[in-house]
Homo-oligomer: A and B are copies of this chain.
Amino acid sequence: MSLTPEQQAEIEELRSQRRETRRTVAGGLEARLYEAIPVLDHGFVRVIDYMGDDAAIVQAARVSYGRGTRAVQNDAGLIRYLMRHWHSTPFEMCEIKLHVKLPVFVARQWIRHRTANVNEYSARYSILDREFYIPAPEHLAAQSTVNNQGRGATLEGEEAARVLDMLRADAGRAYDHYEAMLSQDGQQGLARELARMNLPANVYTQWYWKVDLHNLLHFLRLRADPHAQYEIRVYADAICDLVKDWVPATWGAFEDYRLNAVTLSSQAIDCIRRMIKGEKVSQEDSGMSKGEWREFEGVLNA
A150–B122 Cα gap in the complex (Å)?
13
A157–B177 Cα gap in the complex (Å)?
18
Judging by beta carbons under 8 Å apart, are A181 and B163 in contact? yes
Q: Smallest distance from the beta carbon of A219 to chain B beta carbons, Å?
A: 13
> How many residues of A are counted as interface, with CB atoms below 8 angstroms from the partner's CB atoms?
134
Chain B positions within 8 Å of A294 at CB level? none
Question: Which segment of A1-9, A15-23, A234-242, A243-251 sits at the interface?
Answer: A15-23
Judging by beta carbons under 8 Å apart, are B97 and A93 in contact? yes
Chain B positions within 8 Å of A152 at CB level? 188, 191
Interface residues of A in 197-243 (CB under 8 A from B): 197-202, 206-208, 210, 212, 222, 229
How many copies the complex holds: the figure is: 4
A14–B23 Cα gap in the complex (Å)?
9
Which of these, B21, B30, B68, contacts A25 with CB under 8 Å?
A: B21
Chain B positions within 8 Å of A171 at CB level? 198
Judging by beta carbons under 8 Å apart, are B166 and A177 in contact? yes
> Is A282 engaged at the interface, CB distance under 8 Å to the other chain?
no
Interface, chain A (partner B; CB < 8 A)? 14-15, 17-25, 30, 33-34, 49-52, 56, 60-61, 63-69, 71, 77, 80-81, 84, 86, 89-90, 92-93, 95, 97, 99, 103-105, 108, 111-112, 114-115, 117-122, 124-127, 133, 135, 140-145, 148-152, 155, 159, 162-163, 166-167, 170-171, 173-174, 177, 180-182, 184, 187-194, 196-202, 206-208, 210, 212, 222, 229, 255-257, 259-269, 272-273, 275-276, 289, 291-292, 299-302
Show 26 residue pairs from A and B whose CB-CB distance is below 8 angstroms, ordered by the A residue: A18-B21, A19-B21, A21-B25, A51-B51, A63-B99, A63-B208, A64-B119, A66-B122, A67-B125, A67-B148, A68-B126, A69-B125, A84-B292, A89-B118, A93-B117, A105-B197, A111-B111, A114-B115, A143-B191, A170-B198, A200-B200, A257-B266, A261-B264, A262-B263, A262-B264, A262-B269
Known: A18-B21, A125-B148. 13 other contacts (CB 8 A): A20-B21, A23-B33, A49-B51, A51-B95, A60-B208, A66-B125, A68-B148, A142-B188, A142-B191, A151-B194, A257-B263, A261-B269, A273-B302
